[in-house]
Amino acid sequence: MDAGGIILVIVVIALILFVMTVLVRSVRIIPQARAGVVERLGKYQRTLNPGLTLLIPFVDRLLPLLDLREQVVSFPPQPVITSDNLVVSIDTVVYFQVTDARAATYEIANYIQAVEQLTITTLRNVVGGLNLEEALTSRDQINGQLRGVLDEATGRWGLRVSRVELKAIEPPHSIQDSMEKQMRAERDRRALILTAEGTKQSAILTAEGERQAQILKAEGQAKAAVLKADGESQAIQKVFEAIHRGNPDPKLLAYQYLQTLPKIAEGGSNKLWIIPSEVGDALKGIGGVLGNVGQAAEPAATAEPSVPFTPDGSAAPVADSAGAGVESDTLEEDARAFEEEAARPSEIDAEAQGILEHHPRRLGTDDGGA
Protein backbone atom coordinates (compact mmCIF):
# COMPACT_ATOMS: atom_id res chain seq x y z
CA MET A 1 0.00 0.00 0.00
CA ASP A 2 1.42 3.32 -1.04
CA ALA A 3 1.44 6.51 0.99
CA GLY A 4 -1.72 7.85 -0.62
CA GLY A 5 -3.71 4.84 0.55
CA ILE A 6 -2.47 5.14 4.10
CA ILE A 7 -3.44 8.79 4.21
CA LEU A 8 -6.84 7.96 2.86
CA VAL A 9 -7.40 5.36 5.57
CA ILE A 10 -6.37 7.77 8.28
CA VAL A 11 -8.69 10.43 6.93
CA VAL A 12 -11.61 7.99 6.86
CA ILE A 13 -10.95 6.87 10.41
CA ALA A 14 -10.73 10.44 11.62
CA LEU A 15 -13.94 11.29 9.80
CA ILE A 16 -15.72 8.37 11.45
CA LEU A 17 -14.50 9.43 14.88
CA PHE A 18 -15.62 12.98 14.22
CA VAL A 19 -19.07 11.89 13.18
CA MET A 20 -19.40 9.71 16.21
CA THR A 21 -18.28 12.54 18.45
CA VAL A 22 -20.75 14.89 16.82
CA LEU A 23 -23.54 12.40 17.27
CA VAL A 24 -22.68 11.86 20.93
CA ARG A 25 -22.55 15.55 21.65
CA SER A 26 -25.67 16.30 19.67
CA VAL A 27 -28.04 13.70 21.15
CA ARG A 28 -28.74 13.79 24.88
CA ILE A 29 -31.28 11.88 26.97
CA ILE A 30 -32.57 13.61 30.13
CA PRO A 31 -33.81 11.17 32.82
CA GLN A 32 -37.08 11.62 34.69
CA ALA A 33 -36.99 14.10 37.63
CA ARG A 34 -33.89 15.68 36.21
CA ALA A 35 -33.36 19.06 34.52
CA GLY A 36 -30.52 20.39 32.41
CA VAL A 37 -29.43 23.90 31.51
CA VAL A 38 -28.09 24.49 27.98
CA GLU A 39 -25.67 27.32 27.24
CA ARG A 40 -25.01 28.40 23.69
CA LEU A 41 -21.74 30.13 23.25
CA GLY A 42 -21.56 30.71 26.99
CA LYS A 43 -25.06 32.18 27.34
CA TYR A 44 -28.15 30.61 28.82
CA GLN A 45 -30.18 29.18 25.99
CA ARG A 46 -32.86 26.88 27.49
CA THR A 47 -33.69 24.32 30.16
CA LEU A 48 -33.95 20.73 29.10
CA ASN A 49 -36.84 18.59 30.33
CA PRO A 50 -36.80 14.80 30.63
CA GLY A 51 -36.60 13.05 27.24
CA LEU A 52 -34.50 13.04 24.05
CA THR A 53 -32.83 16.34 23.14
CA LEU A 54 -30.62 17.41 20.23
CA LEU A 55 -27.80 19.90 20.68
CA ILE A 56 -25.53 21.72 18.29
CA PRO A 57 -22.08 20.26 18.70
CA PHE A 58 -19.33 22.64 19.74
CA VAL A 59 -21.92 25.41 20.13
CA ASP A 60 -24.28 24.23 22.83
CA ARG A 61 -22.98 23.08 26.21
CA LEU A 62 -25.08 21.09 28.68
CA LEU A 63 -24.41 21.91 32.33
CA PRO A 64 -24.59 19.17 35.05
CA LEU A 65 -28.11 17.88 35.55
CA LEU A 66 -30.08 19.03 38.57
CA ASP A 67 -32.19 16.67 40.71
CA LEU A 68 -35.77 17.87 40.92
CA ARG A 69 -36.78 15.44 43.65
CA GLU A 70 -37.21 16.51 47.27
CA GLN A 71 -33.90 16.31 49.05
CA VAL A 72 -33.10 15.78 52.71
CA VAL A 73 -30.05 17.42 54.23
CA SER A 74 -28.98 16.85 57.83
CA PHE A 75 -26.74 19.51 59.26
CA PRO A 76 -24.24 18.90 62.10
CA PRO A 77 -25.07 20.09 65.65
CA GLN A 78 -24.83 23.82 66.10
CA PRO A 79 -24.29 25.60 69.44
CA VAL A 80 -27.15 27.97 70.20
CA ILE A 81 -27.49 30.32 73.22
CA THR A 82 -30.94 30.57 74.78
CA SER A 83 -32.42 33.62 76.48
CA ASP A 84 -31.38 32.29 79.92
CA ASN A 85 -27.72 32.11 78.77
CA LEU A 86 -27.50 28.36 78.32
CA VAL A 87 -25.64 26.82 75.41
CA VAL A 88 -27.47 23.96 73.72
CA SER A 89 -26.54 21.90 70.67
CA ILE A 90 -29.27 21.60 68.07
CA ASP A 91 -29.31 19.22 65.08
CA THR A 92 -31.53 20.27 62.18
CA VAL A 93 -32.91 18.44 59.16
CA VAL A 94 -34.07 20.44 56.11
CA TYR A 95 -36.39 19.09 53.39
CA PHE A 96 -36.22 21.13 50.15
CA GLN A 97 -36.83 20.75 46.41
CA VAL A 98 -35.44 22.47 43.30
CA THR A 99 -38.31 24.09 41.45
CA ASP A 100 -36.35 26.28 38.98
CA ALA A 101 -33.18 24.85 37.46
CA ARG A 102 -32.12 28.16 35.90
CA ALA A 103 -32.41 30.07 39.25
CA ALA A 104 -30.69 27.30 41.14
CA THR A 105 -27.85 27.46 38.62
CA TYR A 106 -27.38 31.19 38.16
CA GLU A 107 -28.81 32.78 41.35
CA ILE A 108 -26.72 30.89 43.91
CA ALA A 109 -23.36 29.21 43.63
CA ASN A 110 -24.01 26.37 46.14
CA TYR A 111 -27.60 26.24 47.24
CA ILE A 112 -27.01 23.41 49.76
CA GLN A 113 -24.38 25.39 51.62
CA ALA A 114 -26.57 28.46 51.41
CA VAL A 115 -29.50 26.56 52.96
CA GLU A 116 -27.26 25.28 55.75
CA GLN A 117 -25.93 28.69 56.71
CA LEU A 118 -29.36 30.29 56.49
CA THR A 119 -30.77 27.57 58.69
CA ILE A 120 -28.07 28.09 61.33
CA THR A 121 -28.54 31.84 61.50
CA THR A 122 -32.34 31.61 61.57
CA LEU A 123 -32.20 28.91 64.25
CA ARG A 124 -30.00 31.04 66.49
CA ASN A 125 -32.30 33.98 66.00
CA VAL A 126 -35.43 31.98 66.88
CA VAL A 127 -34.04 29.96 69.79
CA GLY A 128 -32.24 33.00 71.21
CA GLY A 129 -35.61 34.48 72.17
CA LEU A 130 -36.66 31.38 74.14
CA ASN A 131 -35.47 29.91 77.40
CA LEU A 132 -34.38 26.31 77.75
CA GLU A 133 -37.73 24.97 78.85
CA GLU A 134 -39.56 26.76 76.02
CA ALA A 135 -36.98 25.56 73.51
CA LEU A 136 -37.47 21.97 74.64
CA THR A 137 -41.26 22.15 74.53
CA SER A 138 -41.81 24.44 71.49
CA ARG A 139 -40.42 22.37 68.64
CA ASP A 140 -43.45 22.93 66.42
CA GLN A 141 -43.22 26.68 66.89
CA ILE A 142 -39.49 26.67 66.06
CA ASN A 143 -40.04 24.47 63.02
CA GLY A 144 -42.77 26.75 61.70
CA GLN A 145 -40.67 29.89 62.09
CA LEU A 146 -37.63 28.28 60.43
CA ARG A 147 -39.69 27.01 57.52
CA GLY A 148 -41.27 30.42 56.94
CA VAL A 149 -37.93 32.25 56.91
CA LEU A 150 -36.13 29.67 54.75
CA ASP A 151 -38.95 29.37 52.24
CA GLU A 152 -39.07 33.13 51.79
CA ALA A 153 -35.30 33.45 51.40
CA THR A 154 -34.77 30.46 49.10
CA GLY A 155 -37.69 31.26 46.77
CA ARG A 156 -35.51 33.42 44.51
CA TRP A 157 -32.92 30.62 44.41
CA GLY A 158 -35.37 28.29 42.72
CA LEU A 159 -35.81 26.22 45.90
CA ARG A 160 -38.85 25.32 48.01
CA VAL A 161 -38.29 24.40 51.65
CA SER A 162 -41.08 22.03 52.64
CA ARG A 163 -40.09 21.14 56.20
CA VAL A 164 -37.52 21.96 58.85
CA GLU A 165 -37.17 19.61 61.81
CA LEU A 166 -35.12 19.80 65.00
CA LYS A 167 -33.56 16.37 65.29
CA ALA A 168 -32.04 16.81 68.74
CA ILE A 169 -31.66 19.48 71.41
CA GLU A 170 -28.88 18.61 73.82
CA PRO A 171 -28.35 20.87 76.85
CA PRO A 172 -25.08 20.74 78.84
CA HIS A 173 -24.46 17.70 81.04
CA SER A 174 -24.85 19.72 84.23
CA ILE A 175 -28.26 20.90 83.05
CA GLN A 176 -29.18 17.35 82.09
CA ASP A 177 -28.31 16.15 85.61
CA SER A 178 -30.38 18.93 87.14
CA MET A 179 -33.28 18.12 84.85
CA GLU A 180 -33.09 14.45 85.76
CA LYS A 181 -33.13 15.31 89.46
CA GLN A 182 -36.06 17.64 88.89
CA MET A 183 -37.97 15.00 86.98
CA ARG A 184 -37.18 12.40 89.63
CA ALA A 185 -38.42 14.74 92.35
CA GLU A 186 -41.55 15.47 90.30
CA ARG A 187 -42.24 11.78 89.84
CA ASP A 188 -41.71 11.17 93.56
CA ARG A 189 -44.08 14.02 94.36
CA ARG A 190 -46.73 12.63 92.05
CA ALA A 191 -46.27 9.18 93.56
CA LEU A 192 -46.71 10.59 97.06
CA ILE A 193 -49.78 12.54 95.97
CA LEU A 194 -51.30 9.46 94.39
CA THR A 195 -50.50 7.42 97.50
CA ALA A 196 -52.05 10.08 99.73
CA GLU A 197 -55.13 10.23 97.51
CA GLY A 198 -55.44 6.45 97.68
CA THR A 199 -55.07 6.47 101.46
CA LYS A 200 -57.62 9.27 101.71
CA GLN A 201 -60.13 7.45 99.53
CA SER A 202 -59.52 4.24 101.48
CA ALA A 203 -60.07 6.02 104.80
CA ILE A 204 -63.22 7.70 103.48
CA LEU A 205 -64.63 4.42 102.22
CA THR A 206 -63.68 2.66 105.46
CA ALA A 207 -65.32 5.39 107.57
CA GLU A 208 -68.37 5.32 105.34
CA GLY A 209 -68.61 1.57 105.72
CA GLU A 210 -68.21 1.77 109.50
CA ARG A 211 -70.83 4.52 109.65
CA GLN A 212 -73.27 2.45 107.63
CA ALA A 213 -72.51 -0.58 109.80
CA GLN A 214 -73.08 1.41 113.00
CA ILE A 215 -76.31 2.85 111.60
CA LEU A 216 -77.57 -0.59 110.65
CA LYS A 217 -76.46 -1.98 114.00
CA ALA A 218 -78.19 0.84 115.87
CA GLU A 219 -81.34 0.34 113.83
CA GLY A 220 -81.21 -3.38 114.58
CA GLN A 221 -80.69 -2.74 118.29
CA ALA A 222 -83.51 -0.19 118.29
CA LYS A 223 -85.88 -2.64 116.60
CA ALA A 224 -84.75 -5.41 118.97
CA ALA A 225 -85.31 -3.12 121.97
CA VAL A 226 -88.76 -2.18 120.66
CA LEU A 227 -89.65 -5.82 120.10
CA LYS A 228 -88.25 -6.76 123.51
CA ALA A 229 -90.19 -3.93 125.18
CA ASP A 230 -93.34 -5.01 123.33
CA GLY A 231 -92.79 -8.57 124.51
CA GLU A 232 -92.19 -7.49 128.09
CA SER A 233 -95.20 -5.20 127.91
CA GLN A 234 -97.38 -8.03 126.68
CA ALA A 235 -95.95 -10.35 129.36
CA ILE A 236 -96.59 -7.79 132.09
CA GLN A 237 -100.06 -7.19 130.71
CA LYS A 238 -100.82 -10.90 130.76
CA VAL A 239 -99.42 -11.28 134.31
CA PHE A 240 -101.41 -8.25 135.42
CA GLU A 241 -104.59 -9.64 133.89
CA ALA A 242 -103.93 -13.09 135.42
CA ILE A 243 -103.37 -11.55 138.86
CA HIS A 244 -106.54 -9.51 138.65
CA ARG A 245 -108.51 -12.48 137.43
CA GLY A 246 -107.22 -14.48 140.46
CA ASN A 247 -108.25 -11.61 142.80
CA PRO A 248 -105.38 -12.13 145.33
CA ASP A 249 -105.86 -10.86 148.89
CA PRO A 250 -103.25 -8.85 150.85
CA LYS A 251 -102.21 -11.93 152.83
CA LEU A 252 -101.09 -13.79 149.67
CA LEU A 253 -99.26 -10.72 148.42
CA ALA A 254 -97.46 -10.40 151.80
CA TYR A 255 -96.40 -14.03 151.61
CA GLN A 256 -95.04 -13.62 148.06
CA TYR A 257 -93.22 -10.50 149.25
CA LEU A 258 -91.43 -12.48 151.96
CA GLN A 259 -90.47 -15.18 149.48
CA THR A 260 -88.86 -12.58 147.21
CA LEU A 261 -86.68 -11.02 149.92
CA PRO A 262 -84.05 -13.84 150.04
CA LYS A 263 -83.51 -13.52 146.25
CA ILE A 264 -82.60 -9.88 146.74
CA ALA A 265 -79.74 -10.88 149.05
CA GLU A 266 -78.27 -13.39 146.58
CA GLY A 267 -74.85 -12.63 145.05
CA GLY A 268 -71.43 -12.09 146.58
CA SER A 269 -71.33 -8.42 145.60
CA ASN A 270 -74.36 -7.48 147.72
CA LYS A 271 -72.85 -6.00 150.88
CA LEU A 272 -75.99 -4.20 151.99
CA TRP A 273 -79.64 -4.58 151.10
CA ILE A 274 -82.58 -2.63 152.42
CA ILE A 275 -85.88 -4.08 153.63
CA PRO A 276 -88.74 -1.65 153.05
CA SER A 277 -91.02 -0.61 155.87
CA GLU A 278 -93.87 -2.59 154.29
CA VAL A 279 -92.23 -5.81 155.56
CA GLY A 280 -93.52 -5.08 159.06
CA ASP A 281 -97.04 -4.77 157.72
CA ALA A 282 -96.60 -8.05 155.84
CA LEU A 283 -95.38 -9.81 158.99
CA LYS A 284 -98.29 -8.36 160.96
CA GLY A 285 -100.64 -9.68 158.30
CA ILE A 286 -99.11 -13.16 158.50
CA GLY A 287 -99.24 -13.09 162.32
CA GLY A 288 -102.85 -12.07 162.17
CA VAL A 289 -103.61 -14.99 159.87
CA LEU A 290 -101.88 -17.44 162.18
CA GLY A 291 -103.63 -15.95 165.25
CA ASN A 292 -107.05 -16.22 163.64
CA VAL A 293 -106.40 -19.83 162.71
CA GLY A 294 -105.33 -20.69 166.29
CA GLN A 295 -108.32 -18.92 167.83
CA ALA A 296 -110.65 -20.74 165.45
CA ALA A 297 -109.17 -24.15 166.40
CA GLU A 298 -109.53 -23.74 170.23
CA PRO A 299 -113.28 -22.95 170.34
CA ALA A 300 -113.94 -25.73 167.91
CA ALA A 301 -112.28 -28.25 170.25
CA THR A 302 -113.93 -27.06 173.55
CA ALA A 303 -117.28 -25.69 172.39
CA GLU A 304 -120.52 -27.30 173.61
CA PRO A 305 -123.53 -27.74 171.43
CA SER A 306 -125.75 -24.75 171.50
CA VAL A 307 -129.43 -24.56 170.92
CA PRO A 308 -130.32 -22.88 167.70
CA PHE A 309 -132.89 -20.10 167.70
CA THR A 310 -135.25 -19.01 165.06
CA PRO A 311 -135.36 -15.48 163.78
CA ASP A 312 -138.31 -14.62 166.04
CA GLY A 313 -136.35 -15.60 169.19
CA SER A 314 -137.97 -18.95 169.85
CA ALA A 315 -136.01 -22.11 170.27
CA ALA A 316 -135.56 -24.23 167.22
CA PRO A 317 -136.31 -27.87 167.35
CA VAL A 318 -133.35 -30.02 168.27
CA ALA A 319 -132.25 -32.79 165.93
CA ASP A 320 -132.13 -36.30 167.03
CA SER A 321 -129.10 -37.89 168.59
CA ALA A 322 -127.85 -39.39 165.32
CA GLY A 323 -127.76 -35.98 163.66
CA ALA A 324 -126.04 -34.51 166.68
CA GLY A 325 -123.37 -37.19 166.50
CA VAL A 326 -122.64 -36.46 162.85
CA GLU A 327 -122.42 -32.74 163.55
CA SER A 328 -120.01 -33.29 166.42
CA ASP A 329 -117.80 -35.48 164.23
CA THR A 330 -117.72 -32.77 161.59
CA LEU A 331 -116.73 -30.17 164.14
CA GLU A 332 -113.94 -32.38 165.40
CA GLU A 333 -112.58 -32.87 161.86
CA ASP A 334 -112.70 -29.11 161.28
CA ALA A 335 -110.85 -28.51 164.51
CA ARG A 336 -108.11 -30.94 163.57
CA ALA A 337 -107.79 -29.31 160.13
CA PHE A 338 -107.47 -25.90 161.80
CA GLU A 339 -104.82 -27.24 164.12
CA GLU A 340 -102.81 -28.67 161.18
CA GLU A 341 -103.19 -25.42 159.31
CA ALA A 342 -102.01 -23.53 162.39
CA ALA A 343 -98.97 -25.82 162.74
CA ARG A 344 -98.01 -25.60 159.03
CA PRO A 345 -97.13 -21.87 158.84
CA SER A 346 -94.38 -22.43 161.40
CA GLU A 347 -91.94 -22.67 158.47
CA ILE A 348 -92.97 -19.21 157.33
CA ASP A 349 -92.52 -17.95 160.85
CA ALA A 350 -89.02 -19.45 160.94
CA GLU A 351 -88.12 -17.81 157.60
CA ALA A 352 -89.48 -14.45 158.72
CA GLN A 353 -87.66 -14.80 162.04
CA GLY A 354 -84.40 -15.52 160.17
CA ILE A 355 -84.85 -12.43 158.04
CA LEU A 356 -85.56 -10.33 161.10
CA GLU A 357 -82.51 -11.71 162.93
CA HIS A 358 -80.27 -11.16 159.87
CA HIS A 359 -81.23 -7.49 159.56
CA PRO A 360 -82.64 -6.49 162.98
CA ARG A 361 -81.42 -2.89 162.86
CA ARG A 362 -82.77 -2.13 159.42
CA LEU A 363 -86.15 -3.62 160.26
CA GLY A 364 -86.29 -1.66 163.51
CA THR A 365 -85.48 1.50 161.68
CA ASP A 366 -88.13 0.87 159.02
CA ASP A 367 -90.76 -0.05 161.64
CA GLY A 368 -89.95 3.05 163.66
CA GLY A 369 -90.18 5.18 160.53
CA ALA A 370 -93.44 3.52 159.64
Looking at the 3D structure of the chain, how many domains does it have? 4
Residues 254 and 363 in one domain: yes
Q: Single out the residue in 49, 66, 83 at which a domain terminates.
A: 66
Strand partners, 35: 66
Asked if residue 312 is part of any domain, the answer here is no
In a shared domain, residues 242 and 258: no
Which of 61, 64, 55 shows the shortest CA–CA distance to 27? 55
One domain, residues 200 and 240? yes
Q: How far, in Å, CA of 358 to CA of 270, rounded?
A: 14
In a shared domain, residues 255 and 364: yes
Residue 178, in any domain of the structure:
no
Residues 117 and 35 in one domain: no
Same domain? For 227 and 143 the reply is no
* pLDDT per residue as tens digits for the range 187-208: 999 999 999 999 999 999 999 9
Tens of pLDDT, residue by residue over 26-54, are: 888 889 989 989 998 888 989 988 888 88
Q: Does residue 82 sit within a domain?
A: yes
Report pLDDT digits (tens) over 265-285.
Answer: 665 655 555 555 555 555 555
**What is the C-alpha to C-alpha distance for residues 338 and 331, in angstroms, rounded to an integer?**
10
Structural domain range at position 215: 189-247
Task: Judge if 199 and 277 occupy the same domain.
Answer: no
Report the CATH number at residue 127.
Answer: 3.30.479.30
Q: Are residues 59 and 74 in the same domain?
A: no
Question: 293-314 pLDDT, tens per residue?
Answer: 455 545 444 444 444 444 444 4
Whether 325 has a pLDDT exceeding 50, the answer reads no
pTM of the model: 0.47
Residue 184 placed within a domain: no
198 lies in the same domain as 300: no
- For residues 128 and 159, state if they share a domain: yes
Q: How far apart are CA 97 and CA 74, in angstroms?
A: 14
> Residue 38, Cβ neighbours under 10 Å: how many?
18
Q: Count Cβ atoms within 10 A of the Cβ of residue 229 and give its class: 0-12 exposed, 13-18 middle, 19 or more buried.
A: exposed
Give the helix ranges, DSSP H, for the chain.
3-26, 101-106, 111-127, 132-137, 139-154, 173-246, 250-264, 278-302, 321-343, 346-358, 360-369
Of 115, 140, 171, at which residue does a domain stop? 171
Question: Final residue of a domain: which of 247, 266, 290?
Answer: 247
